[in-house]
Structure 1
Amino acid sequence: MYTRTLAALALSASFAFPSAAADVELTLSHWVPGTHPLQVTGMEPWAESIKEASNGRIQINIFPASQLGAAGDHYDMARDGIVDIGFINPGYQPGRFPILAAAEIPFLFADARGGLRALTEWYDQYADLEMGDTYFCMAISHDPGTIHSKEPVIVPEDIRGKNVRPANATEARFVAMLGGASVQVPAGEMREVLARGTADMTQSPWNSLYTFGANDVVFHHLDMPFYYSINAFIFNKGTVDGLSAEDRKVIDDHCTPEWAERIASGWTDAEAAGRDKIASDSAHTLHVPTAAQVQLWKDAAAPLTDEWRTAVSGRGHDADAIWNSLIDTLKKYDAYAG
């Protein structure tokens, strides 16, 4: 029914529920620390709920911190059955998932919680077009991230000539449009590139600076909601297709817009609290842009939407219909910033 690697069998320190009564064991792999709110307040309660709803038949064993593979490999790991469930950042694979990349365009979401419901509901219509070799479960994100730098960054011109660790492929293109150079590495490597001087700044949600140890390298922060980095949970298709009808319903019932909000709520709250933590530290400076400066950023980002339309149309999809559907769904949940 499912595939498990020898590496997974060997990692006894990973999070797991008692397995005595389980008929189906599933491996969930991700790349953030095991202490991250996404696991502690998200994945673990989700896995427990699945276990309870299946009367103990389904057990999910969680392997954090890239134990089973690098962050950018998690889609293929789930597709190929190396793991049963993968936590992915599609933006780590530029150009591979152009439809979902619409949600990476800056200044789109007004609210994280409603936005997560909208994101999952919207993308569920289109997931088979670019993730059809897996079972798409839900899309999630964090509280909005921004730019954290060694020197003040307040307007788009401040990016010119600088090296930036972007959050995803869309933000990397934005950096290039502004005359900067991207140093594209996963979140877990941002401190290293900043400390070495390879990058002058990073994009990150607030508390992730502490999670990944970059809070003692960058001390200037653009205090505005800038972007969302889109993530998703996907299953190996064969794993889901091989479940009994009863167990398949349990999984379907746990892959919903409501669960997207629930599984990410602790993460969004923790990231939001990180801003207050940084603001209270005298070593750090928050730079609040004026309304005119915010508009400069929005104007600079506008071409990203046209670029997205071209990329999606080039794959034979109706870009206008997909974009309008995203906006309408965000509006449905009062989560559109436009």
Structure 2
Amino acid sequence: MQSISRGLTTLFSALLIFSVTALSVQAKTFLRANSQYSDVQSGSKIMQQWAEDIKTRTDGEVEIKMFFGGALGKAQENLALLQEQAIDIALMSPGYFPAELPFHAAPNSIPMAMSNVNQAYTLMVRLMDELPILDEEAAENGAKTLLFQHLNPYKMVCTEQITSLDQMKGKKFRTWGKDLPRAISAVGGTPVTLFFPDIYEALSSGNVDCIPVSMDLYLNYKFYEVAKHVHDITIWEGPTAGTWITTAAWGRLSPEEQQIVQEVSREAMIKDRDATIQAGKDAIGQLEAQGVQFHDFPQADKDKWRAAIPDFFADFISDMDDRGKGDQARKMIEIWKEVTN
């Protein structure tokens, strides 16, 4: 059944791609990029500009058509679509694919391990520059990593106010990946794995009580309509969607075009960092106008929660030891701690 669904998705993608390719016959290289995010958030605007800058700097020789909102495939299908070359570029959260992309997924998944956007930016730049395993891991999946975008700190948003850690017991909490569920279970919560497009309905129907989310995404996706209580505890912070290009598509670019893409990608990371920080600041007043309530969370309970969670760094190293990649994992965590301490 899954293969049938994927086949239909691929067929739909091919038909949609054909219709836009006809409009782009002037470009020497036409690439299709599928983003899991809608076009309303600040990061999507940055990526649209990224595509336009690449076209301009290559004198129209490389054209990238952006498909937002998963128009060419759902978030959880992006890696398979890349591997099958049904798309050329994917903007996807690696945390959805911890088995295939463990080194990429860790910063996108491990909770309570970063505190601000600048740390996430610095970490990913250093990892891309200093840790060859990222390139190797991407290549194993038929892709090359181009850049990472950012998210503001994910605060705890709930349908009712949570006044203490004890109140977390039994609360259904949206999670992803393999680490965040353990952080929620550590304080008696019930982890519920959900992809981002399913959050609104889950809050509305009562299938989840709480979600971790940044304030700008909370505003853009109108989650405030179904959950109005924000608690001042950062559940997660880190990079969001990475941008990957298939190795086949990368090979179609000339060395000069490859250099331009890499330069524009690094510039986009800086623009995205700054735009993300500003979007988070701008969201607060708009949320207050929508009746959102902001609550302090007791410091003692924050400390208890952090003390209760597993040592995710040690677990990651152990997992990578089992794969024969422990040394690279230790180097990654060493860089991570340098950035955050």
Q: TM-score range by the shorter chain?
A: 0.7 to 0.9
Matches of 1:306 and 1:220, distance apart in 2: 33
Matches of 1:139 and 1:307, distance apart in 2: 24
Match of 1:295 among 279, 303, 319: 303
Matches of 2:20 and 2:303, distance apart in 1: 45
Residues 1:159 and 2:168 aligned together: yes
Residues 1:19 and 2:27 aligned together: no
Match of 2:47 among 38, 43, 47: 43
The AA in structure 2 aligned to 1:289 is: F
Alignment of 1:82-161 (within 5 A): 82-103=86-107, 104-124=109-129, 125=131, 126-132=133-139, 133-161=142-170
By how many angstroms is 1:62 displaced? 0.7
The AA in structure 2 aligned to 1:77 is: L
Matches of 1:248 and 1:226, distance apart in 2: 37
Aligned to 2:223: 214
The TM-score normalised by the length of structure 2 is 0.85
Match of 2:38 among 33, 37, 43: 33
SS in 2 for 1:121: helix
By how many angstroms is 1:68 displaced? 0.8
The AA in structure 2 aligned to 1:324 is: E
Matches of 1:193 and 1:96, distance apart in 2: 27
By how many angstroms is 1:92 displaced? 1.8
By how many angstroms is 1:274 displaced? 2.2
By how many angstroms is 1:249 displaced? 1.8
SS in 2 for 1:169: coil
1:195-218 CA distance string (max 9 Å, x none): 111111111111222322321111
1:89-113 CA distance string (max 9 Å, x none): 1112344322234323233334313
**Greater relative CO (CA pairs within 8 A, separation 6+):** 1
1:14-69 CA distance string (max 9 Å, x none): 999x73642111111112212222222x1111111111211111111011111111
Matches of 1:23 and 1:176, distance apart in 2: 52
Matches of 1:275 and 1:169, distance apart in 2: 30
Aligned to 1:55: 59
Q: Indicate conservation of the 8 Å contact 2:93/2:241, yes or no.
A: yes
Gaps (5+ residues) in structure 2?
Answer: 1-9
Distance 1:291 1:196, change over 3 A: closer
The AA in structure 2 aligned to 1:261 is: I
Q: Count matched residues.
A: 325
By how many angstroms is 1:83 displaced? 0.9
Aligned to 2:5: none
The TM-score normalised by the length of structure 1 is 0.85
Residues 1:81 and 2:76 aligned together: no
The AA in structure 2 aligned to 1:44 is: Q
Distance 1:156 1:170, change over 3 A: farther
Distance 1:301 1:276, change over 3 A: farther
Distance 1:176 1:131, change over 3 A: farther
Aligned to 2:3: none
Gaps (5+ residues) in structure 1?
Answer: 331-335
Bigger mean CA deviation after superposition, 170-179 or 123-132 = 123-132
The AA in structure 1 aligned to 2:335 is: S
Matches of 1:15 and 1:110, distance apart in 2: 41
Matches of 1:75 and 1:155, distance apart in 2: 39
Aligned to 1:333: none
Q: Indicate conservation of the 8 Å contact 1:30/1:86, yes or no.
A: yes
SS in 2 for 1:203: strand
Distance 1:300 1:322, change over 3 A: same
By how many angstroms is 1:290 displaced? 3.9
Matches of 1:111 and 1:200, distance apart in 2: 25
SS in 2 for 1:179: coil
Aligned to 2:284: 275
Aligned to 1:320: 330
Aligned to 1:245: 255
Aligned to 2:199: 190
Matches of 2:156 and 2:244, distance apart in 1: 29
Matches of 1:302 and 1:120, distance apart in 2: 27
